[in-house]
C-alpha cells in the first residue's frame, strides 16, 4: 500500500484496547489496513437513535468500530490512513481514496485531488478522480495522469476517469465535499448525471 505523505498517527491510551479489523471483522494481518476498533470503560456502547445501523458500529466482545481505516506499526503506533466510507470497492478489492490521492498529489502539476467511487455494472465501482492543476502549471493530459498512477499503483487502483477542475468544492472546514455525492451523479462538484434531490 502506498501510504499518504501526511498521516495521523497515535499511540494507544492505556485504558483502551485497539485492534485493526479486516472486512469480515477478524484481526487484520500485520501491516495490513483495516478498520480501527476500540474497547474499554470509556468507549460508548452505541450511537443514540442510530436504528438498525447499530450492528455496524458495535461488535461482540465490546468492540466499537470507529469508521477509520488504520495500519498498526510494530511499535504499537496506529496510523490513520482513510475513512471506511471513502473507500472504493473495485470488484471486491478495497481502494483507499487517500492512497490514490497521495499518488496524484505527488505529480508536480497537481495541487489538489479527490478520489471517489464511480458506479460500474460489473465491478460495482471503479476509481474516479478530480484534480486541480497548480497555479502556473500546465495541465497534464488525462492519459498522462492515468499512466502516472499506473506506474505507482496496482491496476485496479488506477482512475478510469479523471476530471480536471478549476476548484474542488469544500465544506466550511476546508474538507472536500464532492466525494460524498458521487453515487447520485455529482462527481466532486462536477455534474455527470441526474442530480439526486437529497443532495440539493
pLDDT of 134: 93
Of 132, 196, 189, 121, the C-alpha closest to 160 is: 121
pLDDT mean across residues, the chain:
77
The verdict on residue 169 lying in a domain is: yes
Predicted structure pTM score: 0.69
Q: At residue 141, does pLDDT exceed 80?
A: yes
Same domain for 15 and 27? yes
Domain boundary among 83, 103, 119: 83
Q: Which residue has the higher pLDDT, 173 or 197?
A: 173
Q: 15-38: per-residue pLDDT in tens?
A: 888 889 988 888 888 888 899 998
Q: What is the pLDDT of residue 56?
A: 53
Residue 163 pLDDT > 90: no
Residues 79 and 91 in one domain: no
Mean pLDDT of the 90-104 span: 91
Q: Strands 161-165 and 124-133, how do they pair?
A: parallel
Q: Report how many domains make up the chain.
A: 2
Q: Which domain holds residue 185?
A: 87-192
Whether 66 shows a pLDDT value over 80: the answer reads yes
CATH code assigned at 148: 3.30.300.30
Q: Give the DSSP letter of residue 86.
A: G
Query: How many whole angstroms separate alpha carbon 154 and alpha carbon 28?
Result: 20
**79 and 95 inside one domain:** no
pLDDT value of position 25: 84
Amino acid at each position: 500500500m502506498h501510504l499518504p505523505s501526511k498521516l495521523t498517527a497515535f499511540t494507544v491510551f492505556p485504558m483502551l484496547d485497539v485492534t485493526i479489523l479486516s472486512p469480515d471483522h477478524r484481526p487484520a494481518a500485520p501491516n495490513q489496513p483495516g478498520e480501527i476498533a476500540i474497547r474499554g470503560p470509556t468507549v460508548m456502547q452505541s450511537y443514540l437513535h442510530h436504528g438498525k445501523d447499530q450492528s455496524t458500529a458495535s461488535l461482540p466482545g465490546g468492540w466499537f468500530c470507529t469508521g477509520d481505516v488504520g495500519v498498526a506499526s510494530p511499535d504499537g503506533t496506529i496510523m490513520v490512513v482513510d475513512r471506511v466510507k471513502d473507500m472504493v470497492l473495485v470488484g471486491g478489492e478495497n481502494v483507499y481514496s487517500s492512497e490514490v490521492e497521495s499518488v496524484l498529489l505527488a505529480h508536480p502539476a497537481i495541487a489538489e485531488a479527490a478520489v471517489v467511487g464511480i458506479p460500474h455494472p460489473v465491478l460495482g465501482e471503479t476509481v474516479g478522480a478530480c484534480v486541480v492543476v497548480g497555479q502556473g502549471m500546465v495541465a497534464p493530459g488525462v492519459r498522462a495522469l492515468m499512466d502516472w498512477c499506473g506506474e505507482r499503483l496496482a491496476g485496479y487502483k488506477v482512475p478510469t476517469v479523471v476530471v480536471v477542475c478549476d476548484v474542488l468544492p469544500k465544506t466550511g472546514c476546508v474538507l472536500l465535499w464532492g466525494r460524498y455525492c458521487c453515487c447520485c451523479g455529482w462527481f466532486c462538484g462536477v455534474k455527470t448525471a441526474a442530480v439526486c434531490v437529497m443532495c440539493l
